[in-house]
Amino acid sequence: MDIAEVAKHSGVPASTLRYYEEKGLIRSVGRQGLRRVFAPAVLERLALIALGQSAGFSLDEIARMFGADGQPDIDRELLAAKADELDATIRKLSAMRDGLRHAAVCPAPSHMECPTFRRLLGAAAVGALGERGRARSQRRR
């Protein structure tokens, strides 16, 4: 399949396909004129890349999930670690959602007088929520 067909069938733009090839995530099998040509198996590989990205893996991490023969060779410990990371994110987001829902209906005259909102505010101040918390936890590693 030429690059346009791969883009059409996978939904991945040709520019991204070229980038993936540059990073070693996919390989063309030749050229048809000026266009790259790929084996049909590239569609499954692109699906694996999309799945990895959906789970939060970086492209470098995804690249390491393929063996020298191009077949998936996924480190199960890496999968477990990512699942743990997702669990932590889910807990943080659930706490944020619950706090926001409470703040939306809280009978306190001001959000600043609401103990639940104050706890949420305190957690945000110390970086326990969102990007600041993630950056701190990665620095500790």
pLDDT digits over 27-86, tens only? 999 998 888 999 999 999 999 999 999 999 999 999 999 888 888 888 899 999 999 999
In the chain, what percentage of residues exceed pLDDT 70?
A: 90
pLDDT at residue number 138: 44
63/29 Cα distance (integer angstroms): 18
- What pLDDT is recorded for position 139? 41
Structure tokens at 120: 């949420």
For residue 126, is pLDDT > 70? yes
pLDDT category, 133, cuts 50, 70, 90? very low
* Two structure tokens written together for 41: 């198996």
Contact, 66 vs 46, CB < 8 A? Answer: no
Q: At what angle do helices 14-23 and 3-10 cross, to 10 degrees?
A: 100
Give the domain ranges of the chain. 3-63, 76-140
Q: What is the CATH number of domain 3-63?
A: 1.10.1660.10
Of the chain, the percentage scoring pLDDT greater than 90 comes to: 50
Tokens encoding 56: 């939060």
Instruction: Please report which residue ranges of 11-129 form alpha helices under DSSP H.
Output: 14-23, 42-54, 59-63, 76-105, 115-125
3-state secondary structure of 99: helix
E strand segments, 33-116: 35-37
Residue with tokens 């890496």: 78
Tell me how far apart the alpha carbons of residues 77 and 124 are, in angstroms, rounded to a whole number: 31
Split at pLDDT 50, 70, 90, the class of 129 is low
C-alpha–C-alpha distance, residues 109 and 57, integer Å: 44
Band the pLDDT of 2: cuts 50, 70, 90: very high
